[in-house]
Amino acid sequence: MSRSHITPPAPNAVRFLQPFVDAGVLETVDVAFANFITEQLNGVLKGKHQRMVVLGAALAARAPQHGHVGVDLGTIATTAAVDSPTVPVRENETPPPQVSDLPWPEGEDWLNLFRTMVRRARIPEILTDGASPLLPSLPKQPLVFHNDLLYLQRYFNYEESVSTALNSLLRSAPAASTLDPESVAVLNSSALEMAQRVAADHALSHRLTVLSGGPGTGKTFTITRILAALLAGNPELRIGLAAPTGKAAGRMKEAIQAAAAELPDAASNLAGTEAVTVHRLLGRGDGIRFQHGPDRPLPLDVVVVDEVSMVSLPLMSRLLSAIGANTKLILVGDPFQLASVEAGAVLGDITGSGGRIQKAIVSLTATKRFEARSGIAFLADAIRHGNAELALDLLADPLHPDITLVHPHHRRQVLDLVVTTGKLSLDAALEGDAVRAATLANDVKVLCATRRGPNGRDIWQKEIEGAVLAGVTETAFRGRWYVGRPVMVSANDYLLNLFNGDTGVVIQSGKQRAVIFPESANPQPLAPAQLGMVDTWWAMTVHKSQGSEFQHAVVALPEPGSPILTREMLYTGVTRAQHQVTIVGTAESVQAAIRQPIRRATGLARLLQGADIGRDPRLS
């Protein structure tokens, strides 16, 4: 089925969806689901009401592809205009309709129709309110309308399971052994700030802790002290460390090992603890199904998950289902960063839900990645609070030389800077020094909001690579696997112990070329032929950069109007930098990004709301 034509299951049944396809709102799979719903309705509804239900169903199928868990029928006409891709138009073709001009039902009428249908059970085979448990003898309805969101049944079940599991962890009484005096003694000897100590005390005495904070606020420092304290009380404690990607897991392990080196003997076991991807923790490996779940929980006493903002709703559901009855869970992350590419905004929903889960949340605010009064710190704060005017003033202020705004017309000066360090990286690679080559390639990194377009990753990649190799005559710098080529793994390879996000460099090793990933779980030289899916890494997307740090981050922005241009994207890019940020884009692009926060249609925050038990008075 192509975008230009829909073949309906019955005459005119879904032909009315054609404008939504032409405008880029709906895809083939969405229309196929609408066809299915039309068949299931079997004439129960007629005319306008049938069209409203079928369009709602198609949009519910569309929602997860755009990060939403369900569809808010009251606002979809606005949000679809933001997250629908621009449809390319060939010469002499009629331009597609604008999303705002599509025949959208009136939002309140749409909501009232679904409210009435679930209340009166008009189409019980298709739609439920999700409030009553489903009987095993009945087929599951494909759609759920709950709290004014229309879901696919599967995604409603994900949200409900996450909410149920988190509330169960909140209700669980702490084990007495976690209050061991030796554990408290370790915390007393640690240089913990007030909020960090609150988090540690809570983690020792409760099963669920959510540690929220921006880059450099001491999240890993705090986690390491918590684990050391727990180990002091029980040296046989079984600990699991995980993150969404291999790169993030590697950085987690590296940071915890560095912090553990400062700790007393109680943490000696911690230094050797591995960090793995969440998928690997759950035991999927190369298979399709996870080994661990409700029937076979993780054999661990404590599970710590870092970079939780990147964890999708389905993955969080599966993780929580594998947490044992006595296992502690510590979730760590920055809720202001980009959410998962897949559906959901789990960390943002947890930290923004209010209600009783707030007692499990501790927020760290004092940053040490960059100076507290640095331009980067001020800029990140302005972006996070949605203050576009202040952000632009800071970028123009000569008192903050660590942050710069460069118009795309003047990007050559930025390109020259990247190329200078790139050529030094090539020299180090030719000498066989993989660590130095990788470090230099890592010093100045271009982070792009998009892969394509005038300021996208593909263009930057091509320009940097061409300029770095220009004038180089040695045969070592020829071919796809040229010496000095920085690479990033794009798919997990369990045989080689390389994971999505691991970065390496091609070096000269004797008469051969080898690829080394210095910071990965497998730092041994590898032949290029051994590697599967890898990308050249002179530039990368902001999404891929999560969990990484660079001396100098160059953040390349598209023109205003791009659905990728969001507050979270800009904040994530800026906070990857340790010492210097250069934004390549217009003032209008910066302003547009800050004024466009990501709004995902999710219901988890409302499900989590409940009686407010209160937070630690030391944080009041």
Does the pLDDT at position 244 exceed 80? Answer: yes
Question: DSSP per residue over 458-477, as a string?
Answer: HHHHHHHHHHHHTT---GGG
Q: Which residue has the higher pLDDT, 90 or 568?
A: 568
149-152 and 143-146 beta bridge pairing: antiparallel
% of the chain with per-residue pLDDT over 70: 88
What is the predicted pLDDT for the residue at 569? 95
pLDDT in tens, 223-242: 988 888 888 878 888 999 99
Does the pLDDT at position 180 exceed 80? Answer: no
Does the pLDDT at position 348 exceed 80? Answer: yes
Phi, psi of 489, rounded to the nearest 5 degrees: -70, 130
Does the pLDDT at position 56 exceed 90? Answer: yes
Q: How far apart (Å, rounded) are the C-alpha atoms in residues 444 and 419?
A: 9
pLDDT band for position 179 (cuts 50, 70, 90): low
Does the pLDDT at position 619 exceed 50? Answer: no
**pTM metric for this prediction:** 0.86
- Angle 521-526-527 from CA coordinates, rounded to 5°: 155
Burial of 338 (0-12, 13-18, 19+ CB in 10 A): buried
% of the chain with per-residue pLDDT over 90: 42
- The answer to whether 359 and 334 are in contact (CB under 8 A) is no
Phi, psi of 211, rounded to the nearest 5 degrees: -105, 110
What is the predicted pLDDT for the residue at 498? 82
Q: Name the residue type at position 571.
A: Y
Whole-number average pLDDT of the chain: 84
What is the predicted pLDDT for the residue at 620? 34
Q: Name the residue type at position 359.
A: K
Question: 165-369, which class in CATH?
Answer: alpha beta
DSSP helix/strand/coil, 381: helix
> What CATH superfamily classification does 375-595 receive?
P-loop containing nucleotide triphosphate hydrolases (3.40.50.300)
- The answer to whether 224 and 270 are in contact (CB under 8 A) is yes
Q: Which residues pair with 556 in a beta bridge?
A: 448, 584
Q: How far apart (Å, rounded) are the C-alpha atoms in residues 203 and 270?
A: 17
pLDDT band for position 316 (cuts 50, 70, 90): very high
Which of 53-62, 153-162, 167-176 has the weakest average pLDDT? 167-176
What is the predicted pLDDT for the residue at 2? 44
Which residues 6+ apart lie within 8 Å of 526 measured at CB? 496, 514, 515, 516, 517
**Ranges of each domain in the chain:** 12-146, 165-369, 375-595
What is the predicted pLDDT for the residue at 122? 83
Which of 174-183, 219-228, 429-438, 458-467 has the weakest average pLDDT? 174-183
Q: How far apart (Å, rounded) are the C-alpha atoms in residues 405 and 394?
A: 10
What is the predicted pLDDT for the residue at 209? 93
Q: How far apart (Å, rounded) are the C-alpha atoms in residues 110 and 355?
A: 30
Tell me which residue has tokens 């990060």: 67
Give yes or no on whether 165-369 and 375-595 have one common fold. Answer: yes
Q: Which of 544, 501, 502, 545 is closest to 524 using CA atoms? A: 502
Which residues 6+ apart lie within 8 Å of 581 measured at CB? 375, 376, 379, 402, 403, 404, 552, 553, 554, 555, 574
Q: How far apart (Å, rounded) are the C-alpha atoms in residues 390 and 317?
A: 39
Tokens, residue 277? 């991807």
pLDDT in tens, 150-171: 999 999 999 999 999 999 998 8
pLDDT in tens, 527-551: 888 888 889 989 999 988 887 889 9
pLDDT band for position 616 (cuts 50, 70, 90): very low
CA 438 to each of CA 202, 324, 421: distance values in angstroms, whole numbers, following the listed order: 40, 40, 11
pLDDT band for position 137 (cuts 50, 70, 90): very low
Question: What totals of helices (H) and strands (E) does the chain contain, helices first?
Answer: 22, 19
What is the predicted pLDDT for the residue at 598? 87
What is the predicted pLDDT for the residue at 397? 92
pLDDT band for position 267 (cuts 50, 70, 90): low
Average pLDDT over residues 161-190: 74
Question: DSSP per residue over 556-604, as a string?
Answer: E---TT-TT--HHHHHHHHTTEEEEEEEES-HHHHHHHHT--------H
Average pLDDT over residues 465-479: 81
CA gyration radius for the chain? 26
Q: How far apart (Å, rounded) are the C-alpha atoms in residues 179 and 236?
A: 16
Question: DSSP per residue over 488-542, as a string?
Answer: EE-S-BTTTTB-TT-EEEEEEETTEEEEE-TTSS--S-B-GGG--SEEE-SEEEH
What is the predicted pLDDT for the residue at 303? 96
> Helices 194-205 & 219-233, crossing angle to 10 degrees?
40
239-243 and 275-277 beta bridge pairing: parallel
What is the predicted pLDDT for the residue at 287? 57
CA 123 to each of CA 14, 38, 358: distance values in angstroms, whole numbers, following the listed order: 19, 12, 38
What is the predicted pLDDT for the residue at 9? 41
pLDDT band for position 302 (cuts 50, 70, 90): very high
Does the pLDDT at position 611 exceed 70? Answer: no
pLDDT in tens, 358-374: 889 988 887 765 565 68
Q: How far apart (Å, rounded) are the C-alpha atoms in residues 83 and 569?
A: 14
Max mean pLDDT among 97-101, 150-154, 217-221, 563-567 falls in 150-154
Max mean pLDDT among 94-103, 263-272, 370-379, 449-458 falls in 449-458
Instruction: Give the containing element (helix H, strand E) for 442.
Output: helix 434-443
Q: Name the residue type at position 146.
A: H
pLDDT in tens, 9-36: 433 678 899 899 988 899 989 999 999 9
Max mean pLDDT among 37-51, 81-95, 206-220, 311-325 falls in 311-325
State in Å, rounded, how far the first CA of the chain is from the last one.
57
Max mean pLDDT among 64-68, 356-360, 467-471 falls in 64-68
What is the predicted pLDDT for the residue at 135? 45
What is the predicted pLDDT for the residue at 463? 93
Average pLDDT over residues 328-340: 92
Q: How far apart (Å, rounded) are the C-alpha atoms in residues 438 and 507?
A: 10
Q: Which of 191, 214, 188, 220 is closest to 201 using CA atoms? A: 188
Average pLDDT over residues 267-271: 69
Phi, psi of 9, rounded to the nearest 5 degrees: -70, -20
Query: SS3 sequence, 299-355?
Result: CCCEEEECCHHHCCHHHHHHHHHCCCCCCEEEEEECCCCCCCCCCCCHHHHHHCCCH
- The answer to whether 170 and 357 are in contact (CB under 8 A) is yes
Instruction: Give the containing element (helix H, strand E) for 210.
Output: strand 208-213
539-541 and 577-584 beta bridge pairing: unpaired
Average pLDDT over residues 466-485: 83
DSSP helix/strand/coil, 76: helix
What is the predicted pLDDT for the residue at 155? 95
What is the predicted pLDDT for the residue at 174? 58
- The answer to whether 26 and 54 are in contact (CB under 8 A) is no
